[in-house]
Each structure stands twice: as structure tokens, then as C-alpha cells.
Amino acid sequence: MANLKEIRTRITSVASTMQITSAMKMVSAAKLKRAQDAITQMRPYAEKLREILVNISSTLEGSAEGVYSQERETKKVLIVAIASNRGLCGAFNANIFKAAEKRIKEYAGKEVQVYAIGKRSADYFTGKHTVFNSNAEIFNDLNYEHVAVMAQEVMDAFVEGQFDKVDIIYNEFKNAATQEVITQQFIPVVADENEAVNVNADYIFEPSKTSIVVDLIPKSLKIQFYKSLLDSHASEHGARMTAMHKATDNAQELKAELKLTYNRQRQAAITNEILEIVGGAEALKQ
Amino acid sequence: MLVEIITPDAKLFEGEVSSIKLPGTNGGFEILNDHAPIISTLTAGEISIVLDKGQKESFEIHGGVIEMQNNKIIVLAD
């Protein structure tokens, strides 16, 4: 049985761990707020861009044969796995790796490479699969300009024929407590046929419909890439917040339990001492 | 007419204006009230707007696209 001193040390250690986890929860909550704002900020842009694209595509006779919608026989695949730089966020990263492994298995017999985004992702995939490139710095300063450069790199690789298909795997932000792993085909672009078309205006197109579409498709791809990263970023903080909240709760419980044992033991020790004294006094009397 | 200038990171401007000058891919152009619906791509340059009260404002962009419809202009800038 643990002695009093041992229990006391454990209580102190649990209490300080609890302090750390609850501080981390606070930090994540603040970061989540900012990450969430970034997504809300970006959404109208993405929606509007999409709307314009749909508007034009629907009035365009034939499809715009862009370089990014070219369907080729799939031989070489790139999987963009978006995880985080840090751990302690529950199953956030593990879910991505699981989904990626599943996807890689589906592509059995094909040449699969991984673009690992986030330090955890790079650590996991290095040595296990062929890593096309990795980036752990992107989350330090997540803005559109940096992401656009990355997206361009992937898009160029596709155009040059290094890959015939690019998939993205990321955590979509539902709310602070829920994330959903999404596996999405990035390139070639898949046309959404069931998009509601409401062409209610006779637009003037400057310079021409085709050139606008050609111009907008890469832009919308970059936006899509950016959105995945923002989603993942917000999810990460959400996941960490939840994980740390649970950790704090557990620590609280553990601490209460330890405290109970400690008090019980202390009481037992006191009772023992009294017994000894009484016993001693009794012996002296006789 | 109502103008909204948005970038993926932030909303730069929203409000009533009397005219807006844009750097179109085929050269700069200006849009006044009641212009016909237009979609145009933009290149790097400066957007300058004249507010209803006559004040001027300008924004630097790297490119983008503009849509005008029913006196509502949306500029998606980079």
C-alpha cells in the first residue's frame, strides 16, 4: 500500500498536469476562434467564385477543355494528406493516416506518392511510403499567398504528367467537437452536373467566356486547396480543445480519488497512533 | 450601386459607390451606375472607387474577377 508521502506527490503531479491541460484547452479555444473566423471569411469568396464558374460553364457550348480536367489513365497518384504540426489532439492525426492507408490500398498496383502537410504527417509517411514533398511550415503562417504557391506546385506536377490524379485527405470542420475526414479528388476536376443553374442575365464577357473559364479554374482549385487547409486547421484546434477538456476532467476525477485515499490513509494512521498510545498507557497502569 | 471587394483572407470593402475603375485583362475600364451585367477577369493593378460623397479610395490587387449584376458589383481579388 502506498504511503502518505507517495500519495501526496501523486496529487501534486496530477494537479500540475491538470493545470497544463486546462491551459492548453484555453489556448486552443482562442486559436479555434481565429481559425473559425478565417473559414467564415473565406466562404463567401469560394461560393461567389463557384457561382460565377457555374454561370459561365452553363452558357458555354461544349466543355472548356482545360488542362486540369483532363482524364488520363490512372497510373501515378498523389495523395495530399493534411495533418497537424503538433500532437495531443485526440484521434485527429490518426484518422487522417487511417484514411490515407485505406486510399493507398485502393490504389494497389499503381504508383502512389504522398504530399505530407504538417509535421505529424511527414513523420508518419516518411519511410512508409514514397513522399513526394512535405511541408511543416505552412501552419505557422496560414495565408492564401503561401497556400497558392503550394497548390500551384501540385497543379504543375499534374500538368507535367508526374501524376494522373491527385486526392486530398483532410479533416472537415463541422463544429468544435466534431470533425469529419474527407477524401476528395482534387485533380482532374470533376464537373458537378446537378448544380442548380440560374442564368438570369445576359452577361458581357470580357475578354471571352473560354478565357475566363481557363483563368478561373486554377483559381478555384487554389481556393479549394486553401479551404481544405483552413478546415483542417480549425478542426485541429477543435480536436485539441475537446481532447484537453477530457484530459482536464479525467485529472479532476483522478485527483478526487487520490484525495479520498489520502484522507483515508491519514485517518488510519491517526487511529493506529491513538491505539498505540492507549495501549501503551494501559500497559503502564498495570 | 453596391460594391463588395473580397479576397480569400478578408473583405476589403463594402458599400455604395458612384463609380469604380478596374484593371481589366483587356485594359482598364470604368463601371458606372446601371451598367449591363458583365463578368471580366482582372490583372494586377489598382481598383479605384469614387464614393457617393465624392471621396476616393483605392486598392492594390494582383488579379481577380469581377461580376456585375443588378447594380451589384462583386470583385473577387487576389
B41 touches chain A (CB under 8 A): yes
How far is B2 from chain A, CA to nearest CA, in Å? 15
Q: Which of B10, B37, B40 sits opposite A41 (nearest CB)?
A: B10
Measured between beta carbons, the chain A residues lying within 8 angstroms of B26 are 206-207
- Please confirm, yes or no, whether A89 is among the known catalytic residues: yes
- The grid cell for A26 is 484555453
Helical pair A209-285 and A4-59, crossing angle rounded to 10 deg: 170
Residue in chain A closest to B23 (alpha carbons) equals A206
* B9-28 average pLDDT score: 91
ipTM: 0.83
Residue B63 confidence (pLDDT) above 60: yes
Instruction: State how far the Cα of A147 lies from the Cα of A227, in Å rounded to an integer.
Output: 10
Q: Which of the pair, A70 or A29, is modelled with greater confidence?
A: A29
Q: What is the CATH superfamily name and number for domain B2-77?
A: F0F1 ATP synthase delta/epsilon subunit, N-terminal (2.60.15.10)
Q: Which of the pair, A175 or A64, is modelled with greater confidence?
A: A175
pTM, two decimals, is 0.85
* Predicted pLDDT at A53: 80
- Domain edges within chain B: 2-77
Measured between beta carbons, the chain A residues lying within 8 angstroms of B7 are 45, 144
Parallel, antiparallel, or unpaired: how do β-strands B45-51 and B72-77 relate?
Answer: unpaired
How far is A143 from chain B, CA to nearest CA, in Å? 7
Q: Which of A52, A148, A226 sits opposite B65 (nearest CB)?
A: A52
pLDDT interval class at A230 (50, 70, 90): very high
pLDDT interval class at A145 (50, 70, 90): confident
Task: Give chain A's domains with CATH numbers.
Answer: 64-192+215-238 (3.40.1380.10)
B38 touches chain A (CB under 8 A): yes
Residue in chain A closest to B5 (alpha carbons) equals A45
Exposure letters A199-212 (e unless 16+ CB within 10 A, then b): eeeebebbeebeeb
3-state secondary structure of A62: coil
